[in-house]
Homo-oligomer: A and B are copies of this chain.
Amino acid sequence: MEYALADHQYGKAETRLVRVYRDTDQHQIRDLNVSTTLRGDFADAYSRGDQAKVLPTDSQKNTAYAFALEHGVPDIETYALTLAMHFADEIEPVHAARVEVDEYAWDRVQLSGGDHPHAFVRAGQEVRTTTATVIGRGTEQRVWVLSGLRDLVLLKSTGSEFAGFLRDRYTTLAETHDRVLATSLTSRWRHAGPDADWNAVNASIRQILIERFSTVHSLALQQSLWEMGKAVLAAHDEVAEIRLSAPNKHHFLVDLTAFGLDNRGEVFHADDRPYGLIQCAVQREDAPAAGPAWDTPGSFAG
């Protein structure tokens, strides 16, 4: 035969699930978006439409709900790992399972008398993420866990330069020693192993990212990212690698001289597009191999 099924995977994407803990009057909630992806012995579904080895995506959704009740969601990493291991261990044709979970944060409502026990307000647009990948079963089983965040929007109103750059025929940009630097950060980090105090580690990393973005005097967004990534690895031995993807959300100083006004870094146009896009990976030199950890469904077709 001339054509090969070179690669394939399938799953249920974006199951929107809220888990409420109501064991005491002080409720807790976990607000999740769960996507499951299976790889394995599914070629017959493609070549012949034979579903005998295909676990319906509807069953995957049901499992996501049932596990949220049975096993709970102490943190999204544990939940994702438990769910991925289930598919890898229990569903015979599955060779590898990946579970991606986004979590939306909620704050407790604050009243004059303190926390409200069961009312919550969405904390922001920022999303906490995880991806758990499990390959094989039994003693052969291998596991990778990514944690991360996206849409963490940061801005410095000074302390950022951009100068001394390469110039070609098409370069017209003026150098600047004081600009607004703003980004909507996406970052994921790969854990060295499958166990950690996930909530604590991730909260610490988030704070380090914000702190380094803020305090590094930036000669380039590239430099800020490198310092942010390095600081995370320095503080957390359990992190093998961190990747950062940062749009440079341009804030252009508005020229008001035609109106007799001297705009010294006070009024900016926040532009939508285009934007710079700066990306880097910082890795511990003795990091274990990444394997398939970064091969998400979102990147399958480029």
Contact = CB atoms under 8 A, between A and B. Distances in A.
Closest CB pairs A-B (n = 4): A49-B219, A299-B299, A119-B214, A122-B153
A199 to B, nearest CB: 19
A277 interface: yes
Interface in A10-52: 10-22, 27, 29, 31, 35, 37, 42, 45-52
A274 B14 contact: yes
Given A51-B162, A119-B213, A297 B279 contact: yes
A63 B169 CA distance: 9
B273 A272 contact: yes
22 contacts: A3-B283, A4-B284, A10-B279, A13-B275, A16-B272, A22-B266, A27-B157, A51-B163, A52-B166, A56-B166, A57-B276, A62-B171, A62-B172, A62-B259, A116-B215, A119-B157, A122-B126, A186-B301, A245-B301, A277-B297, A294-B299, A294-B302
B55 A171 contact: yes
A146 B131 CA distance: 28
Contacts of A294: 299, 302
How many chain copies does the complex carry?
A: 4
Contact of A301 (B18, B148, B170): B148
A203 interface: no
A267 interface: yes
A198 interface: no
Interface string A153-181: 11111110011111111111100000010
Contact of A58 (B49, B172, B261): B172
Given A12-B274, A20-B266, A68-B267, A220 B45 contact: yes
A180 B296 contact: no
